[in-house]
Chain A
Amino acid sequence: MNLKQLALASVFALAAATTSANAACEIGARVSIIGNEFPAIQTVGAGAAECKGAEVKKNLTADHKNIQVPGMQGNPAEYTSAIIANSTIVALMNENLIRPLDDLVAKYGKDLQPSQLIKIDGKVMAIAFMANAQHLMYRKDVLADLGLEVPKTYEDMLAAAKVIREKGVMKNPIGGAYAAGWNLAQEFNNMFLGYGGAFFKKGSAEPSVNGEAGVKALTMMKSLTEYMNPDYLTHDSNATNAEYRAGNVALLNMWGSRAATQTTTDGVTDVVKKGHAIAGPMTVGGGSIPASTLWWDGWTIAKNISDAEAEATFIAMMNGIRPKLMADKEIAKQAVWLIKGYQPSESATGVFDAAKSGTPSYPMVPYMGLMHTALGAELADFLQGKESAEQTLADVEAAYTAAAKEKGFLN
């Protein structure tokens, strides 16, 4: 074999190698993805964009939920796939914008696990790739120094916070994403479900938050805020985490998707790095299920696109969640993946504990979004001491009812 032949052979070998690598992800039509922007979703988007043969566009932004419905309403739809969570899929389902995926799953879904298939009315409507839940994060060093147990209930949390404050270790030892609006409403949802509340009267869109569970949930939230930074109504997840990282907070209920990066960003003090620990979500009021909600993130495929585009999108999105990715340690750490081959790291224990202890999933009813908005706008009045819990909850129900009447859910 002379040099020329050798060169030729290696060129062929290389070409063969590249085709086989690409064969896994060769697409024949455009793909356009809309979704949130946190690291795990960036990974999925990047995986989908590796596909060759046609253009793959992605728009990953925190404002995704404001543009995904208009972006999928056209025919053809601008976005062929929306990365959603159990709260945001409802808006797409309400408008009938996503297609059943059963045939595509049968054709290309051999790598999927049964738990990844989101089935609604017997049809696969979304492919989930990660789970999320709010759970406890705490400073084991602070608790150990004072001889305190890791709180299992919110009542324990209050007792521990009292000791921490009285011993002068921290002034405001509890953290929480209590920013007025979506975050505050979500914290209420947790507590309300923990007290055994149901948002709607059975089988209807009539609200039922103004009751015993609602008042108890608000009272508990108010007690917790007494141990929080006085600016708590302006603190979203980012601001709350900043307080925790700066060592000002010892106990907080935080999203599992933030667990892995909690101590790895810049500016985390060594004390916090060493003391950081996580545990499952807490219960409240002697309840048996945790005061938290279980979430999943997944992707959907638009209805108003051609079958070829749907097929290309499915292939590309499958490439974004291929089991091989789980071998990458950095990627595996980004989330609690539902993908085959995922080895849970220590930061995933909170979410798994949440699932094991029977945490309810965030309600997937068409009018939950309206309830969430009404809660977010009205609850701050009670926490500021402007009105009673009953009055606040009556306002929530009135605001929700006005919105639900407009949207045609109530007469």
Chain B
Amino acid sequence: MQHRTFFWFFFPTAAAMLLFIALPIVSVFLQSVFAPHEAVLVEVESCTPLVGCTTETQVDHDATTELRSNQPLGRFVGLDIYLDRGHLAVNEIAAAWQATDSMGDFISKVHNLPLYRALSFTLTFTFLVTPLLIIFGLMIALAVNSLHRHLKGLMIFFSLLPMIVTPLIGSLILFWMVDSRGVVGSALVALAGDPDFSMKASTGLTWVMLIIYGVWHSAPFAFVVFYAGLQTLPQDQLESAMIDGATRWQRVKYVVIPHLMPLVTFVALIQLMDNFRVFEPIVGFNASAHATSLSWIIFNDLGGETRQLSAASASSVLTILGVAILLTPVLIRTWRDFNAKS
């Protein structure tokens, strides 16, 4: 392809990517290095029903308007927000390092900081859910593929249901089921033999519940991809394996899985990204007392009565960096495979 042709061929895509991907990221980054102006406060009298008049502090609008019109972006704070307690918390970590003698103490101090607490759950979730959903997805795909063709359609539909259900609704349904008065909850109470047993009150069990939910919700995605891959299995290779006396397990291990490997990489890539941004189940399960994630922090910063746009932007940029770091090994591998082939 000529360079000129290539340029015009690629131009629409490049323009869309610039407009919808690059620009928003630049804007979010800008937002994270600027913070609102220092508030000019005045004391005023305010009168409210049933209480009467009291002196309250208020923002001085005339002074603030002037500040804003001079510097519409706000004040430049550089990386201050990235380094503050709500994010990387460098000062707090340094202080914790000096104040503690043992590693355990240090870790528990770090775990008390919002970003690191969120990271500990986010990473646990990502690295448990992603491999589990790939394994389950493959198992379902193999099982459905070996069914009689009349049953296949029905089974595919049922296997896809968890993905069809909206994440928030799915997590709410499960949330009510594990309530101590719900179906699963009361069964667990009976099993545990402890009338005060509660899943929602225990951090560990909440994590388990969220991880099970994550696998339940995403396994169908892996299933569809693998099932499509299974339709392209090299039949002659399989037959020769059978003639050589390979068992079903050996055929899966030496023929099917190597054949599906590029798809495994693809699913891992997408799911690492998705699971790192885990959010809906935390809201649906009302689990923020036990588990938080980077996305939940952004939501919390924006959801208060006073929105913290700069803090939310900084968390967003950190999320993008996190995804980039997570995906690097997989991308390097794909790049190597690509080069080896060409």
- Measured CB to CB, the residues of A under 8 A from B are 65-66, 69, 86-88, 90-91, 93-94, 96, 115-122, 128, 131, 171, 179-181, 203, 205, 229-234, 236, 294, 296, 338, 355, 360-361, 363-370, 372-373, 377, 380-381, 383-384, 387, 391, 395, 398-399, 401-403, 405-409, 411
How far is A368 from B304 in the complex, measured between Cα atoms in Å? Answer: 10
State the Cβ distance, B85 to closest chain A Cβ, in Å.
4
- Given A373-B306, A411-B38; A128-B49 close (CB under 8 Å): yes
In the complex, number of A-B residue pairs with CB atoms less than 8 Å apart: 184
> Could you show 28 A-B contacts with beta carbons less than 8 Å apart?
A66-B303, A86-B48, A94-B39, A120-B58, A121-B42, A131-B49, A180-B289, A205-B41, A230-B201, A232-B201, A233-B201, A233-B286, A236-B286, A296-B49, A338-B49, A355-B51, A369-B304, A377-B300, A380-B289, A395-B112, A402-B85, A402-B311, A406-B77, A406-B81, A407-B308, A408-B38, A408-B39, A409-B41
Inter-chain contact A372/B305, CB cutoff 8 Å: yes
Decide yes or no whether B43 CB sits under 8 A from chain A: yes
In the complex, residue of chain A having the shortest beta-carbon distance to the beta carbon of B311: A406
Inter-chain contact A88/B305, CB cutoff 8 Å: yes
Question: In residues 25-81 of chain B, which contact A (Cβ within 8 Å)?
Answer: 35-39, 41-51, 53-54, 56-59, 61, 64-65, 75, 77, 80-81
Contact with A along B267-309 (1 / 0, CB 8 A): 0000000000000000001111110000000001111111110
Inter-chain contact A96/B50, CB cutoff 8 Å: no
Inter-chain contact A121/B46, CB cutoff 8 Å: yes
How far is A160 from B274 in the complex, measured between Cα atoms in Å? Answer: 49
- Given A115-B49, A119-B47; A406-B308 close (CB under 8 Å): yes
Decide yes or no whether B162 CB sits under 8 A from chain A: no
- Given A115-B50, A119-B47, A399-B85; A231-B200 close (CB under 8 Å): yes
How far is A69 from B175 in the complex, measured between Cα atoms in Å? Answer: 32
Inter-chain contact B35/A117, CB cutoff 8 Å: no
Besides the known contacts A94-B306, A234-B285, 5 further A-B residue pairs in the complex with CB atoms under 8 A apart: A128-B48, A296-B50, A364-B56, A370-B306, A373-B304
Decide yes or no whether B310 CB sits under 8 A from chain A: yes
Inter-chain contact A121/B45, CB cutoff 8 Å: yes
How far is A149 from B152 in the complex, measured between Cα atoms in Å? Answer: 66
Inter-chain contact B37/A361, CB cutoff 8 Å: no
Inter-chain contact B51/A361, CB cutoff 8 Å: yes
Decide yes or no whether B130 CB sits under 8 A from chain A: no
Inter-chain contact B307/A366, CB cutoff 8 Å: no
State the Cβ distance, A6 to closest chain B Cβ, in Å.
52
How far is A88 from B304 in the complex, measured between Cα atoms in Å? Answer: 10
Considering the complex of A and B, which 8 residue pairs feature the smallest CB-CB distances, nearest first? Answer: A369-B305, A369-B306, A121-B44, A380-B289, A180-B289, A373-B304, A230-B198, A408-B38
Decide yes or no whether B236 CB sits under 8 A from chain A: no
Q: Which of A234, A355, A402 contacts B200 (CB 8 A)?
A: A234
Question: B residues within 8 A CB of A205?
Answer: 41, 57
Question: A residues within 8 A CB of B86?
Answer: 399, 402-403, 406
